[in-house]
Amino acid sequence: MRLSEKGDQRILEVDDDGPGVAPEERSQLGTRGWRLDQQMPGHGLGLAIVHDLAARYQARVQFNASELGGLSVRLQLQIRQG
């Protein structure tokens, strides 16, 4: 996990070393109820909640391939001055 600051931007990046997500499936991440791993219990809400919170604060969420082999999630938030 990395937290960085670039001007008025705060960037949180989280990488994992799991199996990753195919590029064509990344656009579906964050869709409520959509899950890649149907073998594990859950309802597909985790990344949907991240998307909802990001939208509430005008942040941007990006999903990419991680250098560790899995998924990289980047949350970029603009800080308002004053």
Q: What would the pLDDT profile of 67-76 be if each residue is shown by its tens digit?
A: 999 999 999 9
> Do 74 and 66 meet the contact criterion of CB atoms below 8 Å apart?
no
pLDDT classification of 65: cutoffs 50, 70, 90: very high
Number of domains within the chain: 1
How far is it, in rounded angstroms, from Cα 47 to Cα 28?
10
Whether the pLDDT of residue 36 is over 80: the answer is no
To the nearest whole percent, how much of the chain has pLDDT over 90? 55
**Which range marks the domain in which residue 35 is found?**
2-78
Query: CATH code at 62?
Result: 3.30.565.10
Q: What is the CA radius of gyration of the chain?
A: 14
Q: Give the global pTM.
A: 0.79
User: What pLDDT sits at residue 33?
Assistant: 74
User: What pLDDT sits at residue 56?
Assistant: 94
Give the 3-state secondary structure of 44-82. Answer: CCHHHHHHHHHHHCCCEEEEEECCCCCEEEEEEEECCCC
